[in-house]
Amino acid sequence: MDSLLHGLEHIIHLNNNQSQYFINNNNNNINNNINNDKRVCKAPRYMPNLWNNLDKNTREYTNCYSYAFDRMEVDADKKLQPGELSTGKFNSYNCDEILNKLRSDYNTFNILQVPKNYKPPCNHYKIALVIDDLGEEQDYHFYRQDSDGYWSHKPGKEEVRRIDASGNLITDPETADRNYDTSNDNQNNETDNNYYKFCGYYSVPYEGGPFKRLN
């Protein structure tokens, strides 16, 4: 009888230990899942010291389009334009035209137009497209939302920044001052455009970065 009771106690003790193990293990799995979610939910980081101190060629040929997708253009001889990674450069300064070329370049990204207050899912971030389609100095421009919620951009060959044409921090590119047309010198440079037309916000997958694209 004593040996039988001892055996039952052993089984009960073992089962209690197993139950505690499964409880602890499940809790660890839950905690790990939470930590994993935090670990993978990322977006581009604002790192002006990195981008603005690239070698001269990479810095000058990495434009707003490349910056929006966290790409640095290495050994390039010109700035990348929407469509040149796929079907050919865009044909007009039109929102739909440039967006279609962008989607063609990044055809695996499932880029969606989204509302202003849209919160992207984990591993996604927002970009915005604006256009100046008036006069002889037409141009497009991209902004991107960084991991801290503010927006940054890279005007052509110029430095990465997160301020608008009035020097204000960009919290929303639609309401930011996008008029850089301070002089009419017909030089078609990065300070000659009033990007008055706001095309929209777009959700983009984040794959890590910045990446260097060899040309």
pLDDT tens track for 100-153 = 999 999 998 999 999 999 999 999 999 999 999 999 889 999 999 999 999 999
pLDDT number for residue 16: 44
Q: How far is CA 43 from the centre of its chain?
A: 6
- pTM score of the predicted model: 0.80
Condensed to tens digits (0 to 9), the pLDDT of residues 176-200 reads 999 998 765 555 555 689 999 999 9
**More reliable by pLDDT, 30 or 95:** 95
Work out the number of other CB atoms within 10 angstroms of the CB of residue 125: 19
Q: For residues 153 and 145, give the distance between their C-alpha atoms in angstroms, rounded to a whole number.
A: 9
**pLDDT for residue 27:** 45
Tell me what pLDDT residue 159 has: 96
CA distance 125 to 84: 23
Residue 2 pLDDT > 90: no
Which is nearest to 195 in space by CA: 175, 179, 171?
A: 179
Note the pLDDT of residue 14. Answer: 39
- What is the pLDDT, as a whole number, of residue 5? 39
From residue 162, alpha-carbon distances to 88, 97, 153, 159, 191 in Å are 30, 26, 6, 10, 16
Domain ranges of the chain: 1-40, 48-214
> How many CB atoms within 10 Å of residue 79?
16
Q: Give the residue-averaged pLDDT of 28-32.
A: 44
**d(C-alpha 119, C-alpha 125), whole Å:** 8
Q: What pLDDT band is residue 215 in, cutting at 50, 70 and 90?
A: confident
**What is the per-residue pLDDT for 13?**
43
Residues near 146 by beta carbon (within 8 Å), at least 6 away in sequence? 43, 44, 45, 46, 125, 152, 162
Tens digit of each residue's pLDDT (9 = 90 or more) over 54-88: 999 999 999 999 999 999 999 999 999 999 999 99
Structure confidence at residue 182 (pLDDT):
76
SS3 62: coil
